[in-house]
């Protein structure tokens, strides 16, 4: 009888091949047992990728919405912080100016006016807040720095009130510069000189298949104009641009304070509008997180590896590997002497 035997080199190769295959299976099963997800996706979905593709597409879409929502949150939070800063300063300076105007001590007015001039610079800086490469209060023209410098604004206003000594005339000129009615057809000096942005709000940001967020506040808003008007008037008086006696300075100081206290209501309204947007963002983020979690759960269910089956298969593979090692050790001890 003829026997077919496997040569030593061929047998060694077979053993190595079996060893490699078993180790690969062992690693795969170990990963599946650890992660709970099958490594062979095609087998897990039985060759039908329709449901898996739909889940992944939905997750990608939601992730893009979530990114847009998070970026919008940063933008809106920056706006709210800026408006809060502006309102606090306007309210405090307004009260100080009104109080100083009624004080017989000229030094008291000087201190309040000087503080107003400093606040003017701070408020302009807040209005020029930039986030993620966009100016918050520039409207749809978000790449343009919305407000001119303090010096540019004061220079333009100084030319408007030059030579005036009557407080009513000065106030009328300041009002016209900041609040020229569109119906008059006259040049809006505020828009031409101070505000460089757009009066049209920035384009809305889509945060879901059905919802779009629009930020309605621009630097051209009436409350912001009124705030800047009061600070600008106080800065003009502080810099002695408007000459006159103490009575004139006291009258204009009081007017500047009244402008600022009146603007407080408008600023509160603006902050309320921004607060509503913040609430919508929070709701959207919660909904997005819940939907993404739901999709992840559905995907995990689709691809999950049964822990009992995986553990059983892993134990069987470990037994195979141990058997292979034992067989390899036995074969390595064979010799002609032992055979004879």
In this prediction, residue 185 carries a pLDDT of: 54
Nearest to 68, CA basis, from 276, 330, 288: 288
Quick one: which H or E segment has residue 232? helix 222-238
The pTM of the full predicted model, rounded to 2 decimals, is: 0.76
Q: Where are the domains of the chain?
A: 52-295
pLDDT mean by block of 10 residues, the chain; 340 residues = 51 64 63 58 62 85 93 94 96 92 76 92 95 93 93 92 89 89 66 91 87 91 94 91 80 93 94 94 93 85 60 66 65 52
In this prediction, residue 109 carries a pLDDT of: 80
The two three-digit tokens of residue 270, written as one number: 């603006």
Distance, in Å, from the CA atom of 306 to the CA atom of 25, rounded to the nearest integer, reads: 16
CATH T-level topology, domain 52-295: f41 fragment of flagellin, N-terminal domain (1.20.1330)
Cβ–Cβ under 8 Å, residues 305 and 33: yes
Distance, in Å, from the CA atom of 13 to the CA atom of 21, rounded to the nearest integer, reads: 12
In this prediction, residue 340 carries a pLDDT of: 46
Distance, in Å, from the CA atom of 291 to the CA atom of 285, rounded to the nearest integer, reads: 10
In this prediction, residue 3 carries a pLDDT of: 47
For the CA atoms of the chain, what is the radius of gyration? 38
In this prediction, residue 292 carries a pLDDT of: 92
In this prediction, residue 52 carries a pLDDT of: 76
Distance, in Å, from the CA atom of 41 to the CA atom of 47, rounded to the nearest integer, reads: 8
In this prediction, residue 130 carries a pLDDT of: 94
The Cβ of residue 290 has, within 10 Å, a number of other Cβ atoms equal to 10
């Amino acid at each position: 009888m003829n026997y077919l035997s496997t040569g030593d080199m061929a047998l060694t190769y077979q053993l190595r091949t079996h060893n490699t295959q078993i180790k690969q299976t062992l690693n795969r099963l170990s990963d599946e047992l650890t992660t709970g997800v099958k490594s062979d996706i095609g087998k897990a979905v039985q060759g039908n990728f329709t449901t898996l593709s739909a889940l992944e597409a939905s997750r990608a879409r939601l992730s893009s919405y979530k990114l847009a929502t998070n970026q919008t949150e940063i933008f809106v939070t920056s706006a709210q912080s800026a408006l809060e800063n502006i309102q606090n300063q306007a309210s405090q300076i307004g009260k100080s100016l009104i109080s100083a105007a009624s004080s017989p001590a000229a030094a008291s007015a000087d201190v309040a006016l000087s503080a107003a001039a400093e606040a003017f610079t701070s408020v302009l800086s807040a209005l020029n807040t930039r986030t993620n490469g966009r100016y918050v209060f520039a409207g749809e023209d978000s790449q343009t720095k919305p407000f001119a410098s303090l010096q540019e604004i004061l220079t333009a206003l100084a030319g408007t009130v030059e030579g005036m000594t009557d407080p009513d005339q000065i106030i009328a000129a300041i009002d016209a510069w900041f609040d020229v009615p569109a119906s008059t057809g006259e040049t809006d000096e505020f828009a031409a000189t101070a505000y460089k942005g757009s009066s049209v709000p920035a384009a809305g940001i889509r945060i879901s298949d059905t919802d779009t967020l629009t930020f309605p506040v621009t630097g051209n808003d009436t409350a912001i104009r009124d705030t800047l008007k009061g600070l600008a008037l106080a800065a003009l008086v502080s810099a002695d641009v408007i000459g006159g006696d103490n009575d004139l300075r006291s009258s204009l100081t009081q007017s500047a304070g009244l402008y600022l206290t009146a603007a407080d209501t408008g600023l509160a309204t603006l902050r309320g509008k921004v607060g509503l947007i913040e609430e919508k963002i929070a709701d959207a983020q919660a909904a997005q997180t819940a939907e993404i979690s739901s999709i992840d759960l559905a995907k995990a269910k689709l691809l999950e590896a049964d822990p009992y089956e995986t553990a059983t298969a892993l134990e069987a593979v470990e037994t195979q590997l141990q058997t292979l090692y034992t067989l390899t050790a036995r074969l390595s001890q064979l010799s002609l002497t032992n055979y004879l």
